[in-house]
Structure 1
Amino acid sequence: MSVGNAEPSQVTRRDPTAWKLASLPNDLDLASAESFCRQVAAAHYENFTVATHLVPADMRQDLANVYTFARWSDDLADESDGDATDALKAWLSGLEECFAGAPNHPVFVALSRTVERHDLTIQPFADLIDAFIQDQTVKRYESREQLLDYCRRSANPVGRIVLCLAKCQEKSQFELSDSICTGLQLVNFWQDVRRDHVAGRIYLPAEDMRRHGVTEAMLESTPAGSEFIALLTEEVAWAEACFDRGESLVKTAPTVLRPAISLFLEGGRGVADAIRRSGYDTLANRPTLHRIAKLRLAGQAAIGMMLSRMSNLFRGSFS
């Protein structure tokens, strides 16, 4: 896969916040709340929009509801006008009221319908908010174990929730999903080393940095030195090992989710490959997938979906 337009990584770019993408309903009407979530999901993230078309139509609203909750939480963490921690704690209280049957915000009105329909538990949603709260105070990670604990709450809950939407709650499937989601989080960290450093955060484990002789001051220098290149080579391999451990989920997850899982898995691998093609220098440039590569991935996932459906039809014909 080719590296697309390399973005200057010292510039922090964010999408518009969820509350700027669509008009927030003034009341707690379910239809309006769900419409708002669809608009946010459609406008915010290209890969998510593509993925929603790879799942059955009756799952798309639930995915939009979950996505909008996660996106709103993330935006509160990074774009709050006041104290982000206070805003996130208030959002957590709103989540608790949602699960108690008294949603007090349009996003929670929509989410409550998904929670009820699929008998979801509060823990993965609360874990996401907890990770965003942690981001307000924890700016460095000493070890890989500490970073994995963060990923357990910042990334893995999303995969588990999506599996639950397909009525899958098997521990083995959760573990495979965790590996993929952790890999996606890690490769995003390595893609955004310079951006995160400008924002005051370093996700590279400090013990790994010391082992390779990389100091924080080196993260301000471009092009990257050989020490950083060696460090990032190792970290990208770590992310790819996570993808390898979770790969079998593409074949064992509920059939309706397999094309979307394949899209995100191969997208993560594509970003890792883009970093490799850039010479592992994510201090000078932020490697991204070329749009053609993204379309190729989406096409491959769509073909996989059609083949799966055809296989099911033939299986039914001869059973």
Structure 2
Amino acid sequence: MDPREYCHNKATPPGSSLYYSLLFLPEAQRHTVTALYAYQKEIVGIVAECSDVGVAQTKLQWWQEEITRLFAGCPRHPVTQTLATPIKTYDLPQQSFLQVIGGAASDLEQSTYPSFQALTTYCYQIAGVISLMAAEIYGYQDSETRTYAENLGIALQLTHILRNVRQDADRGRIYLPQEELTRFQVSSEAIFTSYANSQGMTALLAQQAGQTRHYFRSALANLGKHDRQTQYAGLTQIALGLNILNTMEEDGYPVLQRRTSLTPLRKLWIAWRTSRRARRGLVPQC
């Protein structure tokens, strides 16, 4: 299989949110950003799919060595082969790729997070650095756009966590902060068994959704008008993420019963509308 095709199959299958977020990008940018997210999925997937911690650590070590090979000019994996030229073209830092591995490694060491601050640190490592590298590929003039990208990545990962509470619990993991579970009187055991107190759980999820919106707002506040046209793929990610949050809220946050999703047609409409608005310097409403 062609390395680019491998990356697209991994990160942007037709109908996925990322597929529509990148749909209107120039071809070269689309291939490169797709490879970045394919890399993210490879690393995060190790934690999600490996029940044996030792095996997972071995795989992460292999990827750490593969990043060394990538920057030495001799990558072996389809994802890193796709990134071999772009890391030079866009001057992408080796440390950013290693931070993703570091985030996954820390995730192996714990099945819960004590505080929201600890959770956002993890989100930055796993997703914030990916959004930062994507922003480099899209191009920007204002230095504040880096802050936009960092907050965007954190917001997207927080949205992902909210959508996947049930799926994560099924594999023994709870990403909702322990201090928040205590505050809203929701036990870990109740989440694992899907018997969380309805009132407390709904209040907890609403609070987490509010914090996620804060990061989306912070992202938008740091994106100047000069860079809105080039960063429209990220703006599409924001629009899709906000629609997910809105749908969750309208449905009463049923995350222990099902995963909230949007139809492909709705995603296409959001992507088309957001890209058109971004070209006029407009951003999604948060």
1:117 paired to 2:83: no
2:23 equivalent to 1:53: yes
User: Does the residue aligned with 1:140 lie in a helix, a strand or coil?
Assistant: coil
Q: How far 1:151 sits from its partner (Å)? A: 0.9
C-alpha change, 1:216 and 1:108, in structure 2 (3 Å) is same
Please say if 1:241 is aligned against 2:211.
no
Instruction: Structure 2: state its 5+ residue gaps.
Output: 282-286
Does structure 1 residue 265 correspond to structure 2 residue 263? no
Letter in 1 for 2:26: P
Q: Is residue 88 from structure 1 mapped to residue 66 from structure 2 by the alignment?
A: no
Q: Structure 1 residues 57, 305: closer, same or farther in 2, change over 3 A?
A: farther
Partner of 2:180: 208
1:158 aligns with 2:130: yes
| CA distance, structure 1, for counterparts of residue 246 and residue 240 of structure 2 | 10
How large is the Cα RMSD of the aligned pairs? 2.4
Q: Give the TM-score normalised by the residue count of structure 2.
A: 0.87
- Tell whether the 8 Å contact from 2:3 to 2:78 is kept in structure 1 after alignment: yes
Of stretches 103-112 and 123-132 in structure 1, the one that deviates more from structure 2 is: 103-112
> Which aligned pairs between 1:93-242 and structure 2 lie closer than 5 A?
93-168=65-140, 171-219=143-191, 220-222=193-195, 224-242=197-215
Letter in 2 for 1:129: I
Number of residue pairs matched by the alignment:
278
Report how far residue 43 of structure 1 moved: 2.8
Per the alignment, in what secondary structure is the counterpart of residue 93 of structure 2? coil
More relative contact order in 1 or in 2 (CA 8 Å, sep 6+)? Answer: 1
Instruction: Determine the structure 2 residue equivalent to 1:77.
Output: 47
2:16–2:264 CA contact under 8 A, matched in 1: no
CA 1:228/1:293 → structure 2, altered by over 3 Å: closer, same or farther? same
Q: Distance in 1 between matches of 2:263 and 2:9?
A: 25
Contact 1:80–1:87 (8 Å) recurs in 2: no
Larger-gyration structure (1/2): 1
TM normalised by structure 1 equals 0.78
Q: Which runs of 5+ in 1 are unaligned?
A: 1-22, 24-31, 309-319
Change in 2 beyond 3 A, CA 1:197/1:289: same
* Residue identity in the other structure for 2:45: D
